[in-house]
Amino acid sequence: MKIDRTKTYRTKSGQDVVIYRVCAEGAYPVHGAIGSASYSWTTEGHIVYGDRTDGRDLVEVKETRSEWINIYPRSAGGYNTREMANALASENRIACIRVTYTDGEGLDNGD
């Protein structure tokens, strides 16, 4: 993961982080804060002490979305609302379910 100032991050331990600056120079070019304390991270979001990382390493907070999915015998289609899913359903619909997911979920090595 390469830190991008336009994305939202949290620490591995769950604390909110504000990223102020990402520059190309130095070992710790990512600058930000956890609460009122200032920190610097590597471009991969690590705070390194010797050969160890800790709970202040950064993880990206990905947006969670929900859709209503019309299920058919050999296909499916997603809609923003149940009303829209119902209005656009075909006669052969066998189910309408709500699915909540995080962007990118299930796309990396089956996780």
pLDDT digits (tens, 9 = 90+) for 55-85: 899 999 988 999 999 999 999 999 999 999 9
**Does residue 108 sit within a domain?**
no
Domain containing 23 equals 9-60
d(CA 42, CA 32): 12
Report CA 89 to chain centroid distance, whole Å: 31
- Is the pLDDT score of 26 beyond 90? no
CB of 78 closer than 8 Å to CB of 69 = yes
- Is the pLDDT score of 1 beyond 80? no
**Predicted structure pTM score:** 0.62
d(CA 26, CA 52): 19
Strand partners, 20: none
Q: Which SS3 state, helix, strand or coil, does residue 85 take?
A: helix
Structural domain count of the chain: 2
Domain boundary among 60, 76, 94: 60
Percentage above 90 pLDDT, the chain: 65
